[in-house]
Amino acid sequence: MKSHSPEHQATAPVITATAQSLPDQADALARARAFAEPLLASETLDTGENALVHADAVAAILKSIGGSQAMQAASYLVYACDHLNKPYEVIAKAFGENFAELALETTKLVRVQRMARLAQLSASRAATPIPMAQTAAAQTESVRKMLLAFSRDLRVVMLRLASRLQTLRHFAASKQPVPPGLAAEALQVFAPLANRLGIWEIKWEIEDLSFRFLEPETYREVARLLDETRVQREAHVDQLRQHVAQELAQQGIHATVQGRPKHIYSIVKKMRGKSLGFDQVYDLSALRIVVPTVPDCYAALSWVHSHYTSVPEEFDDYIARPKANGYQSLHTVVRDSTGQPIEVQVRTQAMHDHAETGVAAHWAYKEAGTKGYAGVSASGEYDAKIAVLRQLLAWERDLSGGKGDGFFDDRIYVLTPDAAIVELPQGATAVDFAYSVHTNLGHRCRGARVDGAMVPLNTPLKNGQTVEVTTVKEGGPSRDWLNPELGFLASPRARAKVRAWFNALAMGETVAKGREAVEKLLQREGKTAVKLDDLASQLGFNSAEALFEVVGKDEFSLRNIEAVLRPPEPVLPQDEFLLLKKQRPPSSTPKGGVLVVGVDSLMTQLAKCCKPAPPDAICGFVTRGKGVSVHRADCSNLRNMVTRSGDRVIEVEWGGKTGGDGTVYPVDVAVEANDRQGLLRDISEVFTKEKMNVIGVQTQSVRGIAFMTFTVEVSDAGRLAKVLGIVSELNGVRTARRR
């Protein structure tokens, strides 16, 4: 016999069932059990519990809290779903669409919660995180949200609460180990929801059973302490009960007085929350007084306070100020003649009924009819329905940290084929789903199946649907997906990923353009052996890709690259120059302060390529028709001319009074710095302070780096080194050198 999941079976022999259409809903419970019995009688859940026995127990629990026959019948149909080829069609034909939808929705929620526990277990056992596995806390939160997504119909909630309670009862009775996560989920999800709905009977039992499995040692210790004092405590409570009942009767108050049950989990919470010892917990001894009317409640309270010593800080009036879930009662703590604390609750019978079964006691459903799933009978239960919805919205606020009603109304929760939970905004499509799972899955998405049926990619998804995406091996998104009128994307995150893909595509084209331009330049310069990353680093870029990007965008001139590829030539030793030496001294000093050795009145001009200035070492070159061109001795252009026409080199020198008559010479200074506001001003101020006139400035900023060339007039280039040292110390300046 195959083993199945807790509460529901997983893999069982699939049966195609047929049933005669039965529009008359009389005896729905008996018919539902008869329908499910052949499907479930021989099936065993993986808890070890027989599936039909479990369904019987769930129906009994629902009956005990006021569930209608329709709700009880649904408990059998939920379990039958896994054993039908087409469960919706079969159940709808036999029992109506509202039964079919209820069974299917509940089955989906069961599947989600089961897979959540399995994912949590797998993640805890895996050496490395499994794909799409969530942490225990995140997975539990997802289960809570899914529960809310399905809980717009109270019947789904009630079926799940009853099923989980029965599963816990089964483990308690059989003494089997509880599957990891099941008890924690019951305590963290189901018990608080039962509390919100005011179904105390289920809440307390789920809490105690869950706590028993989660903290067995503490549970046993408190149970032992309760048992040790049980006989004495029960005798004391019974004596008090009889005395209070008699006295109230004499006052003309008809009251039912009972001892209140003790719940271990609530005792432990009170001990921990208030740092109390076991004997200090007030509700170890407790009475509940049930009276006919609200005035009787206050009259009974007055009598209790007048005959026993009250503990003022332990009084709560939940009649005047009901709890959020509608609970009403008077709570007080008094001390008897021996000083022993006793908790007393006073309420009407209606308040007591509500406290025991909550809003479920007032919830009626159509056994059949045209209202469909979540339809209610027209028997004056509209206000009860509103009360339930308010509690579910309040539960939403609890989960959202108080962000307001409808916090989850703007999102849906769908499933992957492996039943992992995916949260999406309302209106999301299969494309949104694909991008939420993985960016690459979104890029390659080409089709989708929703609950097994192919749908257009712009079809809005609904809560609880299972989505399967079909993909291509390679490819990217469609530009149509970014058109809001076509409705392919509702998620801002997915839209951002599609835009990023197209931006990356455009960037790739830009980088390719820049790479081509740089590589062509290297070929022209004969520098194809240069490493591209090294070249980029020299130019201030982190990578060659970054260089290609700005070149491709025409934001960086190729001349900057040429300047790096053509470094200054080394200075030739003086004896390598062919100098025309004449023994006659110069007769005069030509304009510009340059003497041509051995030649009288020869026209001279300062070369613009290297801009010499005294006291630079200089050399002359006889040009055709323009006299002697004077270069710095380390000028690369001069070296090239010497190589071609060495016989035209002539010796020159600066005149003795150079600069003394106010003559100035233009020189170029190159500055590289981190670009910032005020940089040009600060550098210019240095030249002004040092009495060097700036006659030209060229600047270019690339990726935050400023490349600046200043042309300044100097009378003595020797002072320039000092001034450049001052410039180098300015904030952000990397280098300052003469060109």
Annotate 298-367 with DSSP letters as a single string: HHHHHHHHHHSEE-GGG-EETTTS--TT----EEEEEE-TT--EEEEEEEEHHHHHHHHHGGGGG--B-S
The whole-number pLDDT of residue 36 equals: 93
**At 706, phi and psi to the nearest 5?**
-95, 130
Mean predicted confidence (pLDDT) in 529-553: 83
Res. 145: pLDDT tops 80: no
Higher pLDDT, 627 or 144: 627
pLDDT tens-digit map of 211-258: 999 999 988 888 888 776 677 777 778 888 898 999 999 989 999 998
Res. 577: pLDDT tops 50: no
pLDDT tens-digit map of 46-69: 788 899 999 999 999 988 887 778
Mean predicted confidence (pLDDT) in 470-484: 90
Res. 297: pLDDT tops 90: yes
Cβ atoms of 458 and 489 closer than 8 Å = no
Res. 681: pLDDT tops 70: yes
The whole-number pLDDT of residue 433 equals: 94
Res. 458: pLDDT tops 50: yes
Cβ atoms of 52 and 11 closer than 8 Å = no
The whole-number pLDDT of residue 567 equals: 58
Res. 377: pLDDT tops 60: no
The whole-number pLDDT of residue 66 equals: 76
Q: Which pLDDT band, with edges at 50, 70 and 90, does 506 fall under?
A: confident
The whole-number pLDDT of residue 361 equals: 46
Rounded CA gap, 240 and 630, in Å? 123
Q: Are strands 649-650 and 618-622 parallel, antiparallel or unpaired?
A: antiparallel
Res. 348: pLDDT tops 90: yes
Q: Which pLDDT band, with edges at 50, 70 and 90, does 156 fall under?
A: confident
Higher pLDDT, 63 or 300: 300
The whole-number pLDDT of residue 7 equals: 41
CATH of segment(s) 3-214: 1.10.3210.10
Higher pLDDT, 5 or 105: 105
**At 263, phi and psi to the nearest 5?**
-115, 120
The whole-number pLDDT of residue 535 equals: 84
The whole-number pLDDT of residue 456 equals: 95
Rounded CA gap, 360 and 373, in Å? 17
Rounded CA gap, 700 and 555, in Å? 10
CATH architecture designation of domain 223-362: 2-Layer Sandwich (3.30)
Question: Residue 386 in 3-state DSSP?
Answer: helix
Rounded CA gap, 213 and 220, in Å? 10
- CATH 3.30.70.1150 applies to domain 411-490: no
Percent of the chain scored above 70 by pLDDT?
75
Q: Which pLDDT band, with edges at 50, 70 and 90, does 329 fall under?
A: very high
- Give the DSSP H or E segment for 638: helix 636-644
Rounded CA gap, 512 and 525, in Å? 20
Mean model confidence pLDDT for the chain? 77
Secondary structure percentages of the chain, helix, strand, coil, to 5: 50, 15, 35
713: closest CA among 675, 643, 665?
A: 665
Tokens of 379: 């028997």
Rounded CA gap, 651 and 618, in Å? 8
Mean predicted confidence (pLDDT) in 500-528: 85
449: closest CA among 465, 468, 431?
A: 468
How many Å separate Cα 726 from the centre of its chain? 52
663: closest CA among 609, 616, 714, 723?
A: 714
Rounded CA gap, 268 and 344, in Å? 19
Other Cβ atoms closer than 10 A to 711: 16
Amino acid at 83: H
Q: Which pLDDT band, with edges at 50, 70 and 90, does 443 fall under?
A: very high
Question: Residue 723 in 3-state DSSP?
Answer: helix
Exposure string over 641-653, b if 16+ CB within 10 A, otherwise e: bbeeeeebbbbbb
Cβ atoms of 561 and 518 closer than 8 Å = yes
pLDDT tens-digit map of 166-192: 999 999 999 888 886 788 888 887 888
The whole-number pLDDT of residue 33 equals: 93
Q: Which pLDDT band, with edges at 50, 70 and 90, does 357 fall under?
A: low
Res. 397: pLDDT tops 60: no
Q: Which pLDDT band, with edges at 50, 70 and 90, does 1 fall under?
A: very low
The whole-number pLDDT of residue 601 equals: 56
The whole-number pLDDT of residue 154 equals: 67
Cβ atoms of 300 and 316 closer than 8 Å = no
pLDDT tens-digit map of 278-293: 766 655 678 899 999 9
Mean predicted confidence (pLDDT) in 298-305: 93
Q: Which pLDDT band, with edges at 50, 70 and 90, does 97 fall under?
A: confident
Q: Which pLDDT band, with edges at 50, 70 and 90, does 335 fall under?
A: confident
Amino acid at 470: T
- What residue spans define the domains of the chain? 3-214, 223-362, 411-490, 501-565, 574-654, 665-738
pTM of the model: 0.50
The whole-number pLDDT of residue 368 equals: 29
Higher pLDDT, 129 or 546: 546
Which of 259-263, 337-341, 470-474, 598-602 has the weakest average pLDDT? 598-602
> Is 462 exposed, middle or buried, given 0-12, 13-18 or 19+ CB atoms closer than 10 A?
middle
> Is 365 exposed, middle or buried, given 0-12, 13-18 or 19+ CB atoms closer than 10 A?
buried
Res. 118: pLDDT tops 60: yes
Q: What is the DSSP string of 458-474?
A: TPPP-TT-BEEEEE-SS
Cβ atoms of 391 and 383 closer than 8 Å = no
534: closest CA among 524, 526, 544?
A: 544
Mean predicted confidence (pLDDT) in 636-656: 83
The whole-number pLDDT of residue 457 equals: 94
Rounded CA gap, 498 and 487, in Å? 14
Percent of the chain scored above 90 by pLDDT?
21
45: closest CA among 230, 198, 170, 232?
A: 170
CATH superfamily, region 665-738:
ACT domain (3.30.70.260)
